[in-house]
Amino acid sequence: MISHNTYQKCNAAPKGVALLFSYSTKFVLLLSILFMMSCENDMNEVRELTNPSVLPELEMDGMVMEYTENGKVNVKVEATLAEIYSGKKEYYNFPKGVVLSLYGEVKENGEIETSIMKADSAIYFKGEYLEAYGNVELTGYDGVLLQTSFLNWDEKNRWVSTTEKVYIYENGMKKTSDGLEAKDDFSYYKFVNLTGTISLDAKKTE
């Protein structure tokens, strides 16, 4: 805690001296007022920077969250560092990277269809959506790799989208797109202004 004590010392003076220095006193008083205003501004800035509402309520190293449905894990979130903020809406900040694993159907050979998203950082509003930033990679269970600078994951609708440039890698070929809308299991996806040619199932591009 910062303690700020203010002291004021007063000495009596002859009337003549007070008159001689009346203008000086006014000047000193003005400087004092300006100084107090400056101190108040500095304190306001300190209070703003140390406001509990803008500081994380909890920090967790090596956080792992799993979400299940009917006893089956369908989403897993892994983060090197998680900062949890409370307020009108609780949210998680992942400043050191995040890995999002999205589990789909079980295939005939017993393997689970899995899509994985990685990013340098992300903000996650639990139960609603996640925004991923920087070197975002999304790998579908069918092997298609997407790279972009920003991606939004709608948790409620299991939907991903971006209006940023997207690079698509498939079967040794590279394509580019000006945006993407897709189900997070890649059972449907749509590219915007796709350059080059790509062979996709009709249901994925309609």
- Is 84 within a domain? yes
Ranges 86-90, 181-185, 196-200: which has the least confidence = 196-200
Give the pLDDT confidence score for residue 103 in this predicted structure. Answer: 84
Percent of the chain at pLDDT > 90 equals 35
What the block records as the tokens of 25 is 């006193």
Measure the CA–CA gap between 124 and 92, rounded to whole angstroms: 5
Which residues, in sequence order, are CB contacts of 16 under 8 Å at separation 6+? none
What the block records as the tokens of 169 is 């890698």
Measure the CA–CA gap between 152 and 133, rounded to whole angstroms: 9
What the block records as the tokens of 1 is 């805690």
Q: Please report the DSSP string for 140-199 in residue order.
A: -TTS-EEEEEEEEEETTTTEEEESS-EEEEETTEEEEES-EEEETTSSSEEESS-BS---
Same domain for 139 and 185: yes
Same domain for 179 and 160: yes
pLDDT at 160 > cutoff 70: yes
pLDDT digits (tens, 9 = 90+) for 64-110: 998 887 788 888 999 999 999 987 788 999 999 999 998 877 766 66
Same domain for 70 and 24: no
pLDDT digits (tens, 9 = 90+) for 115-157: 899 999 999 998 899 999 999 999 988 788 999 999 999 998 9
Same domain for 174 and 135: yes
Measure the CA–CA gap between 161 and 28, rounded to whole angstroms: 62
Structural domain range at position 146: 56-205
pLDDT at 12 > cutoff 50: no
Same domain for 76 and 126: yes
Same domain for 61 and 44: no
- Is 114 within a domain? yes
Residue bearing tokens 């309520």: 57
Per-residue pLDDT band at 22 (split at 50, 70, 90): very low
Give the pLDDT confidence score for residue 133 in this predicted structure. Answer: 96
pLDDT at 166 > cutoff 70: yes
Per-position b or e across 20-50, b if 16+ CB within 10 A of its CB? eeeeeeeeeeeeeeeeeeeeeeeeeeeeeee
Same domain for 168 and 200: yes
Count of the separate structural domains present in the chain: 2
- Is 4 within a domain? no
Give the pLDDT confidence score for residue 42 in this predicted structure. Answer: 46
- Is 10 within a domain? no
Same domain for 62 and 153: yes
Same domain for 135 and 39: no
CATH of residue 131's domain is: 2.60.450.10
CA 18 to chain centre: 61
Per-residue pLDDT band at 4 (split at 50, 70, 90): very low
Give the pLDDT confidence score for residue 74 in this predicted structure. Answer: 83
Per-residue pLDDT band at 44 (split at 50, 70, 90): low
Same domain for 144 and 61: yes
Position 66: which residue type? E
pLDDT at 52 > cutoff 80: no
- Is 70 within a domain? yes
